[in-house]
């Protein structure tokens, strides 16, 4: 006679032999016979998480929860699922699991991670949109403080095809460098606006910060206020690198797209890989020459993954490790939002279509996926936790828009924080972006029939 316990033993043996596909088939057959067996459901959670099937793991845990008395060893898997959901961009659902299971965890003496709180500068709901709708907020992914993206250099020496500097050359947009006195005035105004106690200052958006001859002084101005400064660079310039390191930014990110010139030059157009490699070693030497201080400057080598350069991943990870730098590899994205919308609407030019075809995630596919799986209840993080300031002091609608007509104010210094927020939430382009599935919101609802927790 076949029993649930006998099936479990057989499935455990298959798992021990790394026969995951066969184990999955046997597990489903067992669940068809005993759909409410807690041991089988927990086994399904474990197998689904191992295979990256978050929807299936979520459904199995929902079934366990609905039994009213789940087995005591289910709580560690709630923690694992919550972490996996969060990493996949389903933060509200991850938070819901942690909120709901806290009482059970306390009663069982299990230390379940606490749900992330909203930072104090973020309200739980958005101001009304121009449609009258309000949206929920969530703990932001990009940082737990308010972010200002200040383009201190309004130009770049490269012409990367996935960046508007390279793919929107026809746009009439001012170029230049932000004067030091204007930058100081902007920081003073941020301090008086006080959207958060310790804002994060990104010293880049579309420009190359190392083009600014006073970048070191700019970083020092942020540091004097006790704020966090981030610099993102292609490292095709070494001028001023010593002053930058001496100024001690919080974080330096070096973007790269291959370890062969034919790959790198294709997606970091005009860039010279040999120069980047030399400058990475120079950066390591400059850091080593600095007196030990805490916290140390964080350096990240960031690989933009395309279809043509994935073989470079392991080699660049090894290089980063050798230099003592962090390493991250993530799918390249097409910017700005205007280009993504053209692709989703079928109106993109040949060059944009060619760029999109080299991406790991085509924007039209991403648009369809996000529109299917988002509930539309959550605010856009690029709107509720960030302000983008151009080199001339004008304010962009967000850090992902490039067209000058999408600026919302000509002078950051002459506009209050509340006024800028109102202009963002009243702008109709945000609705267009959201309808296209390109807003920086979370994928708060898993697809198909599985519902989130109430």
Q: Identify whether residues 205 and 303 lie together within a single domain.
A: yes
Peptide bond just before 336 cis, omega within 30 deg: yes
Q: Identify whether residues 24 and 164 lie together within a single domain.
A: no
CATH number (domain holding residue 227): 3.20.20.70
pLDDT bin (cut points 50, 70, 90) of residue 1 is low
User: Per-residue pLDDT for 454 more than 60?
Assistant: no
Number of structural domains (the chain) is: 2
On whether residue 164 sits in a domain, the answer given is yes
Structure tokens, 272: 């010279």
On whether residue 335 sits in a domain, the answer given is yes
User: Per-residue pLDDT for 449 more than 80?
Assistant: no
Q: Identify whether residues 225 and 364 lie together within a single domain.
A: yes
On whether residue 131 sits in a domain, the answer given is no
Read out DSSP for 99-143? Answer: HHHHHHHHHHT--PPPPPPPPTTS-SBPPPPTTS---B----SS-
For the ranges 69-83, 376-390, 396-410, which has the lowest average pLDDT? 69-83
Question: Where among 108, 124, 155 does a domain terminate?
Answer: 108
On whether residue 333 sits in a domain, the answer given is yes
Q: Classify residue 88 as exposed, middle or buried by CB count within 10 Å of its CB (0-12, 13-18, 19+).
A: middle
Q: Identify whether residues 93 and 157 lie together within a single domain.
A: no
Average pLDDT over residues 202-229: 97
Residue with tokens 């790959």: 263
H/E stretch holding 387? strand 386-389
On whether residue 116 sits in a domain, the answer given is no
How many Å apart are CA 20 and CA 51, to the nearest integer? Answer: 9
Per-residue pLDDT of 105-120, as tens digits, reads 999 999 999 999 999 9
Per-residue pLDDT of 272-283, as tens digits, reads 999 999 999 999
Per-residue pLDDT of 373-401, as tens digits, reads 888 999 999 999 999 999 999 999 999 99
pLDDT bin (cut points 50, 70, 90) of residue 236 is very high
How many Å apart are CA 387 and CA 412, to the nearest integer? Answer: 10
Q: Identify whether residues 98 and 162 lie together within a single domain.
A: no
Question: Where among 58, 82, 108 does a domain terminate?
Answer: 108
Q: Identify whether residues 101 and 205 lie together within a single domain.
A: no
Q: Identify whether residues 343 and 196 lie together within a single domain.
A: yes
Which range of 22-26, 126-130, 339-343 scores highest in mean pLDDT? It is: 339-343
Q: Identify whether residues 22 and 151 lie together within a single domain.
A: no
- pLDDT, residue 450, reads 41
How many Å apart are CA 347 and CA 331, to the nearest integer? Answer: 23
Q: Identify whether residues 410 and 290 lie together within a single domain.
A: yes
On whether residue 441 sits in a domain, the answer given is no
Q: Identify whether residues 192 and 262 lie together within a single domain.
A: yes
CATH number (domain holding residue 49): 1.25.40.10
- pLDDT, residue 2, reads 64
Q: Identify whether residues 272 and 417 lie together within a single domain.
A: yes
Domain containing residue 91: 4-108
On whether residue 127 sits in a domain, the answer given is no
Q: Identify whether residues 373 and 257 lie together within a single domain.
A: yes
For the ranges 4-13, 46-55, 151-160, which has the lowest average pLDDT? 4-13
User: Per-residue pLDDT for 445 more than 80?
Assistant: no
Question: Where among 93, 108, 123 does a domain terminate?
Answer: 108
On whether residue 446 sits in a domain, the answer given is no
């Amino acid at each position: 006679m076949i029993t649930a316990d006998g099936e479990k033993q057989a499935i455990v043996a298959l798992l021990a032999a790394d026969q995951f596909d066969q184990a999955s088939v046997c597990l489903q057959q067992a669940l068809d016979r005993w759909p409410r067996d807690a041991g089988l459901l927990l086994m399904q959670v474990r197998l689904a998480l191992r295979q990256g099937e978050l929807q299936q793991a979520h459904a199995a845990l929902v079934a366990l929860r609905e039994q009213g008395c789940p087995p005591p060893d289910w709580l560690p898997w709630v923690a694992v699922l919550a972490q996996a959901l969060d990493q996949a961009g389903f933060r509200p659902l991850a938070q819901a699991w942690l909120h709901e299971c806290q009482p059970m965890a306390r009663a069982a003496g299990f230390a379940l991670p606490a749900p992330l709180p909203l930072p104090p500068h973020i309200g739980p709901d958005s101001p009304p949109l121009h449609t009258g709708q309000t949206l929920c907020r969530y703990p932001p992914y990009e940082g737990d403080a308010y972010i200002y993206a200040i383009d201190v250099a309004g130009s770049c020496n490269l012409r990367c095809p996935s960046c508007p500097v390279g793919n929107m050359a026809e746009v009439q947009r001012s170029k230049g460098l932000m004067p030091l006195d204007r930058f100081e005035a902007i920081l003073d105004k941020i301090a008086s606006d006080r959207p958060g106690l310790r804002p994060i200052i990104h010293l880049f958006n579309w420009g190359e910060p190392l083009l600014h001859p006073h970048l070191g002084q700019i970083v020092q101005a942020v540091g004097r206020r006790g704020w966090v400064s981030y610099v993102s660079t292609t490292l095709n310039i070494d001028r001023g690198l010593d002053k930058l390191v001496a100024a001690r930014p919080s974080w330096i990110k070096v973007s790269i797209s291959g370890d062969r010139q034919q790959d790198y030059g294709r997606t970091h157009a005009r860039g010279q890989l040999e120069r980047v490699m030399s400058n990475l070693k120079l950066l390591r030497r400059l850091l080593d020459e600095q007196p030990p201080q805490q916290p140390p400057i964080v350096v990240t080598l960031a690989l933009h993954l395309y279809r043509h350069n994935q073989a470079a991943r392991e080699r660049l990870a090894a290089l980063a490790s050798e230099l003592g730098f962090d390493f991250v590899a993530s799918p390249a994205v097409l910017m700005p939002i205007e280009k993504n919308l053209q692709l989703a609407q079928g109106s993109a030019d040949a060059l944009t279509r060619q760029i999109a075809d080299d991406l790991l995630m085509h924007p039209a596919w991403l648009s369809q996926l996000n529109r299917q799986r988002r509930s539309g209840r959550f605010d856009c993080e690029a709107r509720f936790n960030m302000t983008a300031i151009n080199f001339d002091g004008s304010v962009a609608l967000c850090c992902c828009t490039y067209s000058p007509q999408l600026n919302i104010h000509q002078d950051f210094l002459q506009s209050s924080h509340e006024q800028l927020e109102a202009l963002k939430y009243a702008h109709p382009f945000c609705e267009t972006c959201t309808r296209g599935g390109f807003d920086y919101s979370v994928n708060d609802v898993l697809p198909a029939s599985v519902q989130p927790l109430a």
